[in-house]
């Protein structure tokens, strides 16, 4: 899906940057063409400054989104989910990052979280990046306590795991 969305903006790397930001941050586009997070409007100037593009690029991107029924449906329904990843050091939580070879395989989340649960470790949050929207999706597992070395090795040794980091 991500590739199809980006193809619609293949002639404009600046618009692709806007699209990528909207998807990464969970910003939606309302019927008036405004970028919003819930009911809070995000000024075009702030988005433009973040991406180092002209404000009119953001405006033309939202116009293109509203003009395309498929994009309009997608971007009207995006929402952000709060993440504990950046708060983990402050809250004394552990973040396990798992990179896999084939992110669209079934059972990855279940197997990794099952191994953690089998070790009696409480999971606070799981974030699985969608392989349709991210080029190199990762699985993030935020736990209440540190993950012991033997469990890290066990997860790393799963056939589909490329890399484990915490």
pLDDT, position 103: 77
Q: Using the structure block, give the residue that is written with the tokens 């969305």.
A: 5
Nearest by Cα to 82 from 40, 124, 114? 124
Domains along the chain with CATH numbers? 2-76 (no CATH), 88-165 (3.30.70.260)
Which tokens sit at 88? 């983990």
Residue pLDDT tens, the chain, 166 long:
778 899 999 999 999 999 999 998 999 999 999 999 998 999 999 999 999 999 999 999 999 999 999 999 999 999 888 889 989 999 999 999 999 888 778 899 999 999 999 999 999 999 998 777 777 889 999 999 999 999 999 999 998 899 999 8
How many whole angstroms separate alpha carbon 144 and alpha carbon 122?
Answer: 6
Predicted TM-score (pTM) of the model is: 0.75
How many whole angstroms separate alpha carbon 139 and alpha carbon 95?
Answer: 10
């Amino acid at each position: 899906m991500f590739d199809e969305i980006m193809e619609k903006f293949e002639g404009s790397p600046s618009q692709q940057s806007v699209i990528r930001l909207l998807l990464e941050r969970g910003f939606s586009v309302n019927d008036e063409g405004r970028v919003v997070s819930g009911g809070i409007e995000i000024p075009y100037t702030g988005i433009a400054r973040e991406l180092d593009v002209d404000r009119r690029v953001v405006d033309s991107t939202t116009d293109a989104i509203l003009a395309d029924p498929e994009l309009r449906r997608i971007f009207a329904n995006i929402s952000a989910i709060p993440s504990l990843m950046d708060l983990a050091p402050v809250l004394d939580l552990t973040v396990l990052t798992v990179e896999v070879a084939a992110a669209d395989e079934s059972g990855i989340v279940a197997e990794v979280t099952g191994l953690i649960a089998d070790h009696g470790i409480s999971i606070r949050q799981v974030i699985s990046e969608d392989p349709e929207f991210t080029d190199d999706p990762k699985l993030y597992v935020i736990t209440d306590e540190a993950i012991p070395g033997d469990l890290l090795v066990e997860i790393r040794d799963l056939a589909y795991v490329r890399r484990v980091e915490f």
